[in-house]
Amino acid sequence: MAATQGTATFIGASGRTYTKDLYLDDVAGAPVNFDSGAGASATSDTYTSIPEQCYLADVAIVTGAAQTKISVIRNGVPTGNLLRQTLHLNTLAFRPALRIPFLGMDSITLVQLA
* Residue-wise pLDDT tens digits, 15-41: 999 999 999 998 999 999 999 999 999
* Residue-wise pLDDT tens digits, 95-109: 999 999 999 999 999
Separation between Cα atoms, residue 44 and residue 86, nearest integer Å: 24
Residue 87 per-residue DSSP state? G
User: Which residues neighbour 83 within 8 Å (Cβ) at sequence distance 6 or greater?
Assistant: 59, 69, 70, 72, 98
Instruction: Tell me how many domains the chain contains.
Output: 1
Separation between Cα atoms, residue 114 and residue 101, nearest integer Å: 25
Name the residue range of residue 23's domain.
Answer: 4-113
- Residues 56, 71 contacting (CB under 8 angstroms): no
